[in-house]
């Protein structure tokens, strides 16, 4: 059951072979056993989960079920969830119980999905290893010495360790795709604007995008069907016709032109990753796809550009955490500015403070033009590179990460090395393009390797099709870590 | 040395929408603290702003009314600073591309018309309030006002005296109320002014160092604060000192300005485009729609009153001080088209005087324009004298006979005697009874004539038509 697809679980629920309460209990039981080893959840509230499961069972009994009704879904702790502690992985919000639901949570609640817990994450989604969480690092289920990636490391871990059939994540520069790759699962960051950001605690508003994490692309499609939709409360939300992301899953890939950016197949990618990616590309050749070399000349600039723009927005987005209205406030202080200083100094961790400082600096008088404006210009060039590349190909592929999961503590003292984990993923974020990672085998130390698939705007259905056809031929996505 | 005063004003006009600029919460004044602050206003984690269309519509109205350029796109930017009543830690405002750019306002100071250029007008959200009373060494925060829509209207430094600054502010105040974008209530902070003041030697083409004066919450304070500030700056300069650029606060109790923060202490607001809001696009079509909603503007009405009704510039100016007053005038004139001047005189005289005395607005005037016109009609058709009309006016004000003019005249027996036979008879009696005065008049004493008129008026308790009395009396005595 723990390895069953969402479709299979849904079918069992529909056929009353199992109730949502029973299913939820199974996953909660597994979580009770495994979570202490992995620290993947920040909050588990069995009573609240089971109450939702009961509601789901009533919906199913009343004939009001849709594909994810009654299915346990783990929610990244970045989504405000009414009545649940919502910490964003930070001490700053370690006492914050949300009085309202994020749009994404509302959408899952509406169709009767069951929230089985809030997953651990890098503090305010700033990190690539889950080590910046106030709640401690998450372990990679394939090897507890390894990081699960980040920032959606908790979500990647619960799916990989089968503590939940699916989970939500958010991605700013790779935070869905990189942990999906490192944990051997599938994850997609949709086109910017498809998933409402309302109630999703902001890191970098122009880049943040919610998306699903699951075992397979088939499951991702069902999750996307719930998550995507216009929201009038988010001004950057796109008003489009409703799509069924499952509709093209089985399409043949004959004649598919796969673009391989020469910049991504250059130095930097480790041999084990390169080998797994090559094998995956071979599989696609067998499926009838053809390979085209493309170029993204400005892509190598995406990390520096990202580390100007994301911190700039973050420095402003995180100003509301001031200890005045909610969240952590220092216990003693002498005056107002001392209260701000101490609350923020103690409430935020080192990486968050580093980014607030970088962001404040690049927005400061005299530096704004040199950094922020310059970075915005390059951001447009990066988007243009992709537009040019998509004239020659239908989809772009490459490695999701340069290496397999690294060890806990390995890059802690070297932020630049840590930032380079997102070297392949951040360009698509800057361009607002959808990006997906699927598992394509194992590299060094038997740690998973992810294939990065970048599509054109709104091509999610096609990307999922491309992933699904591969997963029909392979079983990497069905491999479970020995837990 | 002769000094020239240079003043520019920044006015924050609160826009008269139902809800806030970026949330659905009400902006009604005076509610219990924090009862009108929703999750967006509280800046809970994860919330996002959504622009209120009504706010943009009001900004467009203003732009059209001052002949400005409506920018499309315009950009919302974040102004970052920490303060407890600023829940997000930044204010959403506009910086590089404001919604309204340029335009001008014509003002009239001592019968001289002058044009004040506008730099820009941009949209922004108000902050909440810090409450220092009642919290014993702590500060309370009320976020009801947080997110209230403001239009910040910035003028060029075109004013040269405190009087000009006040007239500009009053004209602007009148305009925003006229076009219905702001209620103009200064006590409630719906119309707030800051003044940038500097002085320079007369004839110099370089501006002096300016100081920004805040907290000018009445026109009177504005005048006093500017005058104080001008004196302060001139004294410094005449003593050989230099004026430092700073923000100063006006203290009405002491009638002085004092330093709030220097230029060095000024914040680096780190403005950048708000990534949560798309650039604001305003279509030509939308602008055209708003233009159709715009009422005839005060200046156009003024011109029309002078040409169509033959009023003086002064009268036209006074009557267009508010749209309500102008509408009142026009409704009255509509009933009495041949007597525009009479209508104007009564509205500027009796009506305004009475409103001022009782401290009420013309919209709450107990006499409506149709009733006033009926009263004036009775003057012009000689039913009553102008003097009697004031008596009737008092009765109407009190609501007697439901304000029915003819009923009041009838009831009080105030109808003027215009029957020449009746008046002649009366005059004959009076001439007989006052032979001495008749003799005096005939011997050239003009005073005696007035005395005789007085006798007639007295005998009719003022109801005789005075012009008629004059004519008949002269005939009889000649």
Closest CB to A235: pick one of B80, B82, B276.
B276
Is A262 noted as a catalytic residue in this protein? no
Bridge partners, residue B101, by sequence:
B69, B120
Give the tens place of pLDDT for each residue, A66-84: 999 999 999 999 999 999 9
Q: Could you give the percent of chain A with pLDDT greater than 70?
A: 100
CA distance A43 to A30: 15
Average pLDDT over residues A221-225: 98
Tell me the chain A residues in contact with residue B90 when contact means C-beta distances shorter than 8 Å: 316, 319
For residue A320, the model assigns a pLDDT of 98
Query: How near does any CA of chain A get to the CA of B272, in Å?
Result: 7
Give the tens place of pLDDT for each residue, B131-174: 988 788 888 999 999 999 999 999 999 999 999 999 999 999 99
Q: A235 and B47 in contact by Cβ < 8 A? A: no
A336 touches chain B (CB under 8 A): yes
Q: A320 and B51 in contact by Cβ < 8 A? A: no
As given in the structure block, the two tokens for residue A340 are 């701000």
Domains contained in chain A, number? 1
Residue B86, SS3?
Answer: coil
For residue B410, the model assigns a pLDDT of 82
A356 touches chain B (CB under 8 A): no
Closest CB to B89: pick one of A80, A322, A368.
A322
Q: B46 and A205 in contact by Cβ < 8 A? A: no
Closest CB to B87: pick one of A206, A236, A325.
A325
Tell me the chain A residues in contact with residue B51 when contact means C-beta distances shorter than 8 Å: 235
What is the residue-averaged pLDDT of chain A?
A: 97
Tell me the chain A residues in contact with residue B147 when contact means C-beta distances shorter than 8 Å: none
pLDDT at B36 over 80: yes
For residue B426, the model assigns a pLDDT of 84
Give the tens place of pLDDT for each residue, A275-307: 999 999 999 999 999 999 999 999 999 999 999
Cα end-to-end distance, chain B, whole Å: 70
**Global pTM exceeds 0.80:** yes
Query: How near does any CA of chain A get to the CA of B21, in Å?
Result: 13
Is A472 a domain residue?
Answer: yes
Give the tens place of pLDDT for each residue, B215-239: 898 999 999 999 999 999 999 999 9
Q: How confident is the model at residue A195 (pLDDT cuts 50, 70, 90)?
A: very high
Q: How confident is the model at residue B386 (pLDDT cuts 50, 70, 90)?
A: confident
Q: B141 and A325 in contact by Cβ < 8 A? A: yes
For residue A337, the model assigns a pLDDT of 93
pLDDT at B468 over 90: no
Cα end-to-end distance, chain A, whole Å: 15
Tell me the chain A residues in contact with residue B45 when contact means C-beta distances shorter than 8 Å: 80, 86, 88, 93, 96, 98, 201-202, 320-321
pLDDT at A180 over 80: yes
Is A166 a domain residue?
Answer: yes
Query: How near does any CA of chain A get to the CA of B18, in Å?
Result: 18
Let me know if B458 is exposed, middle or buried by CB neighbors in 10 A (0-12, 13-18, 19+). exposed
pLDDT at A377 over 90: yes
State how far the alpha carbon of A453 is from the alpha carbons of A18, A225, A303, B437, B448, in Å.
36, 19, 18, 118, 113
ipTM of the complex: 0.96
A197-206, A340-349, B209-218: least confidently modelled range: B209-218
Q: How confident is the model at residue A230 (pLDDT cuts 50, 70, 90)?
A: very high
Closest CB to A313: pick one of B43, B47, B275.
B275
Q: How confident is the model at residue B441 (pLDDT cuts 50, 70, 90)?
A: confident
CA distance B457 to B465: 9
Query: How near does any CA of chain A get to the CA of B91, in Å?
Result: 10
Average pLDDT over residues A425-440: 98
A142 touches chain B (CB under 8 A): no
Q: How confident is the model at residue B272 (pLDDT cuts 50, 70, 90)?
A: very high
Q: Give A280's contacts (C-beta < 8 A, 6+ positions apart).
A: A397, A440, A441, A451, A470
The residue of chain B nearest to residue A124, with distances taken between CA atoms, is B45
Among the options A10, A19, A76, A90, which is catalytic?
A: A76
pLDDT at B262 over 90: no
Bridge partners, residue B122, by sequence:
B152
Average pLDDT over residues A125-147: 97
Q: How many beta-carbon pairs below 8 A join chains A and B?
A: 97
A458 touches chain B (CB under 8 A): no
SS (H, E, C) B99-143: CEECCEEEEEECCEEEEEEEEEEEEEECCCEEECCCCCCCCEEEC
A236 touches chain B (CB under 8 A): yes
For residue A239, the model assigns a pLDDT of 96
CA distance A396 to A292: 9
Closest CB to A319: pick one of B46, B80, B276.
B80
pLDDT at A103 over 80: yes
pLDDT at B415 over 80: no
Q: How confident is the model at residue A152 (pLDDT cuts 50, 70, 90)?
A: very high
CA distance B252 to B217: 10
Q: A316 and B270 in contact by Cβ < 8 A? A: yes
Mutation choice for B interface testing from A209, A233, A340 by most B CBs within 10 A: A233
Q: A326 and B44 in contact by Cβ < 8 A? A: yes
Tell me the chain A residues in contact with residue B25 when contact means C-beta distances shorter than 8 Å: none
Q: Which of residues 96-155 of B touch A (CB under 8 A)?
A: 141
Average pLDDT over residues B82-93: 97
A102 touches chain B (CB under 8 A): yes
CA distance A464 to A189: 11
Give the tens place of pLDDT for each residue, B283-293: 999 999 999 99
CATH code that applies to domain B420-477: 1.10.10.410
Is A151 noted as a catalytic residue in this protein? yes
Q: How confident is the model at residue A237 (pLDDT cuts 50, 70, 90)?
A: very high
For residue B469, the model assigns a pLDDT of 84
Tell me the chain B residues in contact with residue A86 when contact means C-beta distances shorter than 8 Å: 45
A232 touches chain B (CB under 8 A): yes
B51 touches chain A (CB under 8 A): yes
* Residue A306 near residue A429, CB atoms below 8 Å: yes
Q: Which domain holds residue A283?
A: 1-231+247-483
User: What are the DSSP calls for B383-420, one per residue?
Assistant: SS-HHHHHHHHHHHHTTGGGG-HHHHHHHHT---B--H
Q: Which of residues 355-414 of B touch A (CB under 8 A)?
A: none
Is A438 a domain residue?
Answer: yes
B38 touches chain A (CB under 8 A): no
Q: A236 and B275 in contact by Cβ < 8 A? A: yes
Among the options A133, A175, A246, A429, which is catalytic?
A: A175
Q: Nearest Cα to A188, choosing from A212, A158, A168? A: A212
What is the residue-averaged pLDDT of chain B?
A: 92
CA distance B454 to B469: 10
Residue B254, SS3?
Answer: coil
Q: How confident is the model at residue B401 (pLDDT cuts 50, 70, 90)?
A: confident
A11-15, A384-388, B345-349, B456-460: least confidently modelled range: B456-460
Q: Where are the domains of chain B?
A: 3-288, 296-412, 420-477
For residue A442, the model assigns a pLDDT of 98
Q: A324 and B84 in contact by Cβ < 8 A? A: yes
For residue A212, the model assigns a pLDDT of 98
Q: Nearest Cα to B121, choosing from B96, B152, B95? A: B152
B82 touches chain A (CB under 8 A): yes
Is A82 noted as a catalytic residue in this protein? no
Query: How near does any CA of chain A get to the CA of B134, in Å?
Result: 18
The residue of chain A nearest to residue B81, with distances taken between CA atoms, is A319
Q: How confident is the model at residue B1 (pLDDT cuts 50, 70, 90)?
A: confident
Q: B268 and A364 in contact by Cβ < 8 A? A: yes
Average pLDDT over residues B17-25: 97
For residue A419, the model assigns a pLDDT of 87
**What does the DSSP 8-state code read for residue A137?**
P
List the CATH number of the domain containing A110: 3.90.1300.10
Residue A470, SS3?
Answer: helix
A83-87, A227-231, B180-184, B429-433: least confidently modelled range: B429-433
pLDDT at A483 over 80: no
CA distance A156 to A188: 12
For residue B134, the model assigns a pLDDT of 79
For residue A413, the model assigns a pLDDT of 83
Is A16 a domain residue?
Answer: yes
Give the tens place of pLDDT for each residue, A40-64: 999 999 999 999 999 999 999 999 9
Residue A452 parent element (H or E): strand A448-455
pLDDT at B37 over 90: yes
- Cis link prior to B73 (omega < 30° from 0)? yes
Tell me the chain A residues in contact with residue B276 when contact means C-beta distances shorter than 8 Å: 202, 205, 235-236
């Amino acid at each position: 059951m723990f390895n069953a697809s969402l479709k299979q679980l849904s079918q069992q629920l529909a056929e009353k072979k199992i109730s949502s309460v029973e299913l939820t209990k199974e996953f909660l039981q597994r979580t009770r056993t495994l979570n202490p080893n992995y620290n993947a959840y920040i909050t588990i509230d069995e009573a609240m989960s089971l109450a939702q499961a009961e509601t789901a069972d009533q919906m199913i009994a009343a004939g009001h079920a849709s594909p994810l009704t009654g299915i346990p879904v783990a929610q990244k702790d970045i989504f405000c969830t009414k009545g649940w502690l919502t910490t964003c992985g930070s001490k700053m919000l370690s006492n914050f119980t949300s009085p309202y639901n994020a749009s994404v949570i509302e959408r899952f609640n509406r169709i009767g999905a069951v929230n089985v817990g809030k997953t651990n994450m890098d503090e305010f989604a700033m990190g690539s290893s889950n080590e910046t969480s106030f709640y401690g690092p998450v372990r990679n289920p394939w090897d507890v010495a390894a990081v699960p990636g980040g920032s959606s490391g908790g979500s990647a871990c619960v799916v990989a360790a089968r503590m939940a059939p699916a989970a939500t994540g958010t991605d700013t520069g790779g935070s869905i795709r990189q942990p999906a790759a490192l944990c051997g699962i599938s994850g997609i960051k949709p086109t910017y604007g498809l998933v409402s950001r309302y109630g999703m605690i902001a890191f970098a508003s122009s880049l943040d995008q919610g998306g699903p994490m699951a075992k397979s692309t088939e499951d991702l499609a069902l999750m996307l069907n719930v998550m995507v939709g216009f929201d009038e409360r988010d001004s950057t939300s796109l008003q489009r016709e409703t799509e069924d992301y499952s509709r093209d899953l089985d399409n043949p890939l004959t004649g598919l032109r796969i673009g391989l950016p020469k910049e991504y197949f250059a130095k930097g990618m480790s041999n084990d990753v390169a080998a797994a990616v090559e094998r995956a590309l071979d599989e696609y050749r067998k499926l009838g796809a053809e390979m085209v070399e493309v170029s993204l000349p400005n892509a190598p600039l995406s990390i520096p550009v990202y580390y100007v723009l994301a911190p700039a927005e973050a420095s402003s987005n995180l100003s509301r955490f001031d200890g005045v209205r909610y969240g952590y406030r220092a216990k003693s202080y002498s005056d107002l500015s001392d209260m701000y200083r101490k609350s923020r100094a103690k409430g935020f961790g080192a990486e968050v403070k580093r980014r607030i400082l970088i962001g404040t600096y690049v927005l400061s008088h005299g530096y704004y033009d040199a950094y922020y404006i310059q970075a915005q210009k390059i951001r447009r060039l990066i988007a243009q590179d992709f537009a040019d590349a998509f004239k020659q190909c239908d989809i772009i592929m490459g490695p999701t990460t340069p290496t397999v999961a690294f060890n806990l503590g390995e890059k802690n003292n070297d932020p630049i090395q840590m930032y380079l984990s997102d070297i392949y993923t951040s360009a698509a974020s800057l361009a607002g393009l959808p990006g997906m990672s699927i598992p394509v085998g194992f590299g060094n130390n038997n740690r998973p390797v992810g294939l990065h698939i970048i599509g054109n705007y709104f091509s999610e259905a096609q990307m999922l099709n491309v992933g699904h056809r591969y997963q029909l031929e392979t079983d990497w996505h069905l491999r479970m870590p020995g837990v | 040395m002769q000094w020239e005063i240079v003043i520019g004003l920044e006015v924050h006009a609160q826009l008269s929408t139902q809800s806030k600029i970026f949330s659905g919460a009400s902006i009604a004044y005076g509610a219990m603290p924090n009862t009108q602050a929703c999750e967006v206003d509280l800046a809970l984690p994860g919330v996002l702003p959504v622009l209120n269309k009504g706010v943009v519509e009001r900004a467009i109205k203003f732009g059209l009314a001052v002949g400005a350029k409506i920018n499309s796109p315009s950009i919302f930017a974040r102004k970052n600073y920490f303060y407890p009543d600023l829940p997000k830690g930044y204010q959403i405002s506009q910086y590089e591309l404001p919604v309204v750019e340029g335009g001008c306002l014509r003002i009239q100071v001592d019968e001289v018309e002058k044009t004040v250029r506008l730099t820009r007008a941009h949209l922004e959200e108000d902050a909440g309030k810090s409450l220092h009373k009642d919290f014993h060494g702590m500060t309370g925060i009320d976020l009801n006002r947080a997110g209230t829509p403001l239009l910040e209207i910035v003028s060029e430094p075109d004013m040269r005296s405190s009087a000009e600054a006040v007239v500009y502010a009053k004209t602007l105040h009148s305009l925003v109320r006229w076009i219905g974008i702001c209620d103009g209530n200064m006590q409630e902070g719906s119309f707030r002014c800051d003044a940038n003041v500097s002085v320079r030697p007369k004839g110099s083409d370089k501006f002096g160092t300016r100081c920004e004066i805040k907290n000018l919450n009445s026109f009177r304070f504005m005048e006093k604060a500017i005058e104080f500030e001008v004196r302060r700056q001139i004294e410094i300069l005449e003593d050989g000192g230099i004026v430092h650029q700073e923000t100063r606060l006006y203290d009405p109790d002491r009638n002085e300005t004092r330093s709030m923060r220097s230029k060095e202490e000024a914040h680096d607001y780190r403005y950048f485009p708000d990534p949560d809001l798309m650039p604001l696009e305003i279509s030509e079509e939308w602008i055209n729609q708003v233009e159709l909603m715009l009422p005839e503007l005060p200046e156009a009405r003024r011109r029309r009153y002078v040409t169509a009704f033959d009023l003086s510039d002064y009268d036209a100016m006074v009557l267009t001080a508010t749209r309500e007053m102008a509408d009142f005038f026009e409704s009255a004139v509509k009933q009495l088209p041949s007597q525009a001047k009479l209508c104007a005189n009564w509205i500027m005289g009796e009506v305004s005087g009475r409103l001022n005395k009782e401290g009420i607005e013309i919209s709450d005037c107990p006499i409506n324009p149709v009733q006033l016109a009926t009263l004036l009609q009775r003057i012009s058709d000689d039913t009553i004298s102008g003097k009697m009309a004031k008596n009737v006016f008092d009765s109407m004000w009190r609501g007697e006979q439901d304000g029915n003019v003819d009923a009041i005249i009838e009831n009080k027996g105030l109808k003027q005697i215009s029957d020449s036979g009746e008046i002649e008879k009366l005059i004959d009696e009076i001439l007989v009874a006052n032979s001495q005065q008749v003799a005096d008049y005939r011997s050239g004493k003009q005073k005696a004539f007035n005395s005789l008129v007085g006798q007639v008026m007295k005998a009719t308790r003022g109801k005789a038509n005075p012009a008629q009395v004059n004519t008949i009396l002269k005939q009889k005595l000649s």
